[in-house]
Amino acid sequence: MNIIRYPERSEWKEILKRSALHTEDIRDAVNTIINKVRTEGDRAIIAYEEQFDKVKLESLAVDETEFKEAENMIAPELKEAIRQASANIRTFHAAQRFESKKIETTPGVTCWQKAVAIEKVGLYVPGGTAPLFSTVLMLAIPAQIAGCKEIVLCSPPGQKGKIHPAILYAARMAGVKKVFKAGGVQAIAAMAYGTESIPKVYKIFGPGNQYVTVAKQQVSLREVAIDMPAGPSEVAVLADGTASPVYVASDLLSQAEHGADSQAILITTSEQLLEKTKAEVERQLATLPRKALTELSLRSSKLILVKDLAEAIDMVNEYAPEHLIIETQNYRDVAEQIVNAGSVFMGPYAPESAGDYASGTNHTLPTNGYAKAYSGVSLDSFIRKITFQEITKEGIRRLGPAIQILAANEQLDAHKNAVTVRLD
């Protein structure tokens, strides 16, 4: 890992830079796949599945037999863990329900909002180096609570032509009935345009590699909405001398094992903690099954020593991490000063993995500094708020003259006239 001591503020931008995604190189290839799926439907998806996932599919839809097979393949302890995680995710997201309130802005003029679910949503769940069945829960449970009428889930099949059983079990537990064997760009295109088997949706959610990221960006220009811009996953750990180097190292490694382009950063006020964490990372890394992949990620990761806690907080807010772990003596006070982060984990007993799986918060979060402007997925991600206004005769008498003046000064006479005819 790269060690940086007492950097000047003028150096922060360069130090905190993420790995660049050179998406221009793949954009043409992504568009080719999108266009083929749009014109050829299921036939194109089946061909791409054979090309990319090395599997020959006769149909794309997961049938009831496959759901039952998947349930029988899941170990009881995993079923129980999925149930516990589901309950916590449901509890947290159900508490986010919007309560509408009618406001009389002027006597006779009443305005309010109504929350309405997005009717059709598409969920993409990767199944490559790690089958992310936890993502099924994070996306499908709030979609179900919101009241989305149609929830479509796509995930790549393995070489036996089956989706990972834990993904299917989680989908069934979260109430998803429409699951399809499709991965990568072809899955995103199918949900954006619709095929003979896969319904078209209005908004697409879910993580993926750079091909999936570019595909989501491309279809969002024309056909559908997407959850948020996404890049490689990342964590920042803000720690002082009271933090455990064992815990800090485990947090950095749990992020680094996501993939070679993931980033893990320690920002600390303690030289001793920095050195001990470096040694502990090396010790724990040697025991990891995904050691080779994790090592690649650590090459772009950093251990940064700063002069005091105030500077550490400023640096975190400048970085705007997807995940932030605060392991300091007064972590609650520090957390109050954080304004740019996707999800914050407070204290020595709150690893990132808690939010990734089972605490109840959502793990679909803004990366690449987008936490400065975007929120993570929540119940609001699956709803729209429609505004209503009701105006009585008294209301238009009181409000009408102001509308007439405003419209006239914008030189929009028809707008003014719509009020005038009522007042007359």
C-alpha to C-alpha distance for 359 and 92, rounded to whole angstroms? 9
Retrieve residue 198's tokens.
């896969």
CB-based contact 82:114 (threshold 8 Å): no
C-alpha to C-alpha distance for 215 and 198, rounded to whole angstroms? 17
Retrieve residue 121's tokens.
């949503």
C-alpha to C-alpha distance for 229 and 239, rounded to whole angstroms? 28
How buried is residue 348: exposed, middle or buried, by Cβ count under 10 Å (0-12/13-18/19+)?
A: middle
Task: Determine how β-strand 2-5 pairs with β-strand 120-124.
Answer: unpaired
CB-based contact 404:419 (threshold 8 Å): yes
C-alpha to C-alpha distance for 396 and 401, rounded to whole angstroms? 8
* Binding-site entries for Zn(2+): 255, 258, 356, 415
Residues in the chain: 424
- Give, in order, the Cα–Cα distances in Å from 314 to each of 278, 351, 388: 23, 22, 41
Run of H or E residues at 379: none
* Binding-site entries: 124, 186, 209, 233, 255, 258, 323, 356, 410, 415
Phi-psi label, residue 121: left if phi above 0, alpha if psi -120 to 50, beta otherwise: beta
How buried is residue 384: exposed, middle or buried, by Cβ count under 10 Å (0-12/13-18/19+)?
A: middle
Nearest CA among 129, 128, 54 for reference residue 292? 129
Q: Which residue has the tokens 């760009």?
A: 185
* Binding-site entries for NAD(+): 124, 186, 209
- Give, in order, the Cα–Cα distances in Å from 8 to each of 12, 198, 237, 272: 7, 53, 20, 21
C-alpha to C-alpha distance for 131 and 167, rounded to whole angstroms? 7
C-alpha to C-alpha distance for 305 and 276, rounded to whole angstroms? 13
Q: What is the DSSP letter of 349?
A: T
Residues that are catalytic: 322-323
Strand partners, 389: 111
* Binding-site entries for substrate: 233, 255, 258, 323, 356, 410, 415
